[in-house]
Structure 1
């Protein structure tokens, strides 16, 4: 097997069902360690990011980069 050529990644999309906890935290962590942009979306987004998620982020000195929830179609439309 021959390794495939590396391609530059333009964006990472973190997807979870409600987009209210895991994916917003993942974007925040990713953004603190990578220059590649990231988005947080859900398949069935909640009305807002869960308050405990905001509390957990604050306790660890993080500011969420995704203050509102979004549906996956809003970010990934068009392939």
Structure 2
């Protein structure tokens, strides 16, 4: 018969490993979804000239369609 304490410690270690893997997978999926949203917003802007309106609950996602990034002019 195994020691309940060692069983608990093994279970806890396995749970921590699974938690870390799940966290990494969710972060990766989140980034992938944001990149896809940016691509769709850019394509929508190019095709229809407007901006997509996010759902009412989303206030933090911002996409600005524009030209190339401006680089500061070197000083003489």
Normalising by structure 2, report the TM-score: 0.28
Structure number with higher relative contact order (C-alpha < 8 Å, ≥ 6 residues apart): 1
Query: Could you say which structure has the higher helix fraction?
Result: 2
Q: Please state which structure has a larger fraction of its residues in strand.
A: 1
TM-score, length of structure 1 as denominator length: 0.27
